[in-house]
């Protein structure tokens, strides 16, 4: 609520929409993309490999993250909270 400036009810609404659309992926599928993700982001921040590998596993428009290192790679779109809020 602090970062967005939205009231609690709106935050709950957004979270409910997000949670209704979460897709659980088998770890085997994510692991198949692990090395590709490591090549893309590993030298920047190894901690971001799981997020990038997951995004490479499915058809997605990008990742919502305020992680500046993740945004440095150019393979997957990354939007920060401020950019997402401009879309609403």
Residue 78 lies in a domain: yes
Q: What is the DSSP string of 30-73?
A: HHHTHHHHHHHHTTT-GGGHHHHHHHHHS--S-EE---HHHHH-
pLDDT of amino acid 32: 98
pTM: 0.75
Number of domains into which the chain is organized? 1
Residue 31 has pLDDT above 90, yes or no: yes
The domain of 35 spans 26-87
Per-residue pLDDT reduced to its tens digit, 36-82: 999 999 899 999 999 999 999 999 899 999 999 999 999 999 999 88
């Amino acid at each position: 609520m602090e970062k967005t400036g939205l009231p609690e009810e709106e935050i709950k609404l957004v979270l409910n929409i997000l949670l209704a659309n979460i897709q659980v992926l088998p770890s085997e599928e994510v692991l198949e993309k692990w090395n590709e993700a490591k090549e893309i982001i590993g030298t920047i921040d190894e901690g971001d490999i799981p997020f990038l590998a997951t995004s490479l596993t499915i058809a997605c428009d990008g990742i919502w993250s305020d992680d500046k290192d993740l945004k440095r790679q150019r393979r997957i779109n990354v939007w920060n909270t401020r950019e997402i809020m401009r879309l609403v």
